[in-house]
């Protein structure tokens, strides 16, 4: 009676082995959904198969089914609590799920089972993502051994820098560069630390040493750092950009330099290249500013929107230019900068809300005596039929800036309403001479 039982067990074992091989073949071929099902079948027959737990988790990760993968690896560490692979892979899944604290816990267990370089690096990355910079640096420092790779030493230096331990990072960087002098990121971080410590000259010398060692595209990062420390950055930025157009900071800074020079059209290629490489909010903001200067209001609106909260003013300006005054006003809600308040006052005036416009513009004008703000405040006063007050304000504005066509025009309106036709006509003629179409139209009547 025992022989059939032994034969049956033997055949069952062969079936399981064949099923595991099938699952592995499906995984290797990229058929992740079918591989997951095959691994599930193996586990249904024998939940103690380490390879099936591991394979199931990997197949689910490859298929993008992260919550299921988390459960698979969680089961693996419960069945095999002393196996490094389960804890390490569970940590990786937690990182992808945006749960760095849970990831760090899993990686810590992996480190305790097998203190590999990959486990320490993963633990530090999880801690850094969780906002625990000091703990990340401490973990890497604890795992530092003579045989650790240059990548590990660079990660340690970066973690120390992020934790505010700049001075501690310096010997790590020098040790790394003595071992691997072509490591551009190490030269870059070393120069950054030295500059932040007030040693700008030494930082520039170290960058020159690095540029003598580093070749190819990697030189762009060092040229960028040197540009940031240089009194004449543009040639260095151009060289960096030519080496690596994907280095968004170089394109962004070149674009900003063109904007400062008043060349918005020349700024666009650099800024667009930077944005394609990395759609950073500050690049979007610069693009919005460039398009606004070029009167391309649709693109100005688009990129101001991409910039998020810092782009609210430019977005409002673009919306105003596109004729969407109510939207522009909504975008300025809560804004308190002088530029935003000036636009808010102008919008209220255009919307016929003169009392509100005057309430916004009066304190703004009194604080800075800006002629344009004064003109709009006077326009609000004219709309409110406070002609005498408007005259006094406009004469003050024209005393500061006698070429303000809008001020002469509003003065003409105020004087005409006060019955002083001769003075009003002279004011309107002055406005017309300065280009006011409204004044010309009034004079033709």
Give the contacts of 313 (CB within 8 A, at least 6 positions apart).
Answer: 331, 332, 335, 337, 339, 340, 343
**pLDDT exceeds cutoff 60 at 15:** no
How many beta carbons lie within 10 A of that of residue 32, not counting itself?
Answer: 18
Give the contacts of 161 (CB within 8 A, at least 6 positions apart).
Answer: 169, 189, 192, 193
Q: Count of residues for the chain?
A: 445
Per-residue pLDDT, 269: 96
Place of tokens 């667009």: 272
| 303 — pLDDT class (breaks 50, 70, 90) | very high
The domains located in the chain, with CATH, are: 245-324 (1.25.40.10)
| 401 — pLDDT class (breaks 50, 70, 90) | very high
**pLDDT exceeds cutoff 80 at 11:** no
Per-residue pLDDT, 444: 84
Q: Compute the mean pLDDT over every residue in the chain, rounded to the nearest whole number.
A: 93
| 352 — pLDDT class (breaks 50, 70, 90) | very high
**pLDDT exceeds cutoff 50 at 200:** yes
| 14 — pLDDT class (breaks 50, 70, 90) | very low
Of residues 8 and 328, which shows the higher confidence score? 328
- Token pair, residue 109, equals 């267990």
| 136 — pLDDT class (breaks 50, 70, 90) | very high
180 touches 164 (CB < 8 A) = no
pLDDT digits (tens, 9 = 90+) for 213-267: 999 999 999 999 999 999 999 999 999 999 999 999 999 999 999 999 999 999 9
Taking residues 116-145, report their average pLDDT: 97
**pLDDT exceeds cutoff 80 at 6:** no
Distance CA 200, CA 113 (A): 45
Taking residues 131-143, report their average pLDDT: 96
How many beta carbons lie within 10 A of that of residue 110, not counting itself?
Answer: 27
340 touches 360 (CB < 8 A) = no
Per-residue pLDDT, 16: 44
**pLDDT exceeds cutoff 60 at 399:** yes
């Amino acid at each position: 009676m025992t022989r059939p039982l032994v034969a049956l067990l033997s055949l069952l074992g062969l079936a399981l082995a064949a099923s595991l091989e099938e699952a592995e073949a499906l995984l290797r071929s990229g058929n992740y959904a079918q591989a997951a099902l095959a691994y599930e079948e193996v586990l249904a027959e024998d939940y103690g198969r380490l390879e099936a737990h591991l394979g199931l988790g990997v197949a689910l990760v490859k298929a993008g089914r992260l919550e299921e993968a988390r459960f698979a690896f969680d089961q693996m560490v419960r069945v095999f609590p002393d196996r490094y692979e389960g804890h390490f892979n569970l940590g990786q899944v937690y990182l992808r799920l945006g749960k760095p604290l849970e990831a760090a816990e899993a990686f810590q267990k992996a480190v305790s089972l097998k203190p590999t370089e990959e486990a320490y690096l993963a633990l530090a990355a999880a801690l850094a993502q969780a906002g625990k910079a000091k703990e990340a640096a401490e973990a890497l420092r604890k795992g530092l051994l003579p045989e650790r790779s240059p990548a590990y030493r660079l990660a340690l230096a970066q973690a120390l820098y992020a934790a505010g331990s700049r001075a501690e990072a310096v010997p790590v960087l020098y040790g790394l560069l003595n071992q691997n002098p072509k490591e551009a990121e190490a030269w870059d971080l070393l120069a950054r630390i030295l500059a932040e410590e007030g040693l700008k000259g030494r930082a520039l010398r170290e960058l020159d040493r690095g540029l003598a060692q580093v070749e190819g595209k990697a030189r762009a990062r060092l040229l960028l750092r040197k540009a940031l420390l240089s009194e004449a950055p543009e040639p260095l930025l151009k060289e960096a950009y030519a080496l690596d157009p994907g280095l968004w900071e170089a394109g962004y800074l070149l674009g900003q330099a063109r904007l400062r020079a008043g060349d918005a059209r020349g700024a666009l290629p650099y800024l667009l290249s930077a944005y394609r490489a990395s759609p950073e909010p500050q690049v979007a903001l610069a693009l919005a500013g460039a398009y606004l200067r070029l009167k391309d209001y649709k693109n100005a609106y688009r990129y101001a929107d991409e910039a998020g909260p810092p782009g609210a003013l430019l977005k409002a300006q673009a919306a105003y230019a596109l004729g969407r005054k109510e939207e522009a006003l909504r975008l300025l809600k809560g804004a308190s900068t002088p530029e935003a308040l000036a636009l808010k006052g102008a919008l209220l005036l255009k919307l016929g809300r003169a009392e509100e416009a005057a309430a916004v513009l009066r304190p703004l004008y009194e604080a800075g005596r800006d002629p344009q703000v004064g003109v709009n405040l006077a326009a609000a006063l004219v709309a409110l039929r406070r002609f005498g007050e408007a005259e006094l304000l406009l004469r003050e504005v024209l005393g500061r800036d006698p070429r303000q066509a809008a001020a002469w025009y509003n003065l003409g309106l105020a004087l005409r309403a006060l019955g002083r036709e001769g003075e009003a006509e002279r004011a309107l003629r002055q406005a017309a001479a300065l280009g006011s179409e409204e004044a010309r139209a009034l004079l033709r009547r």
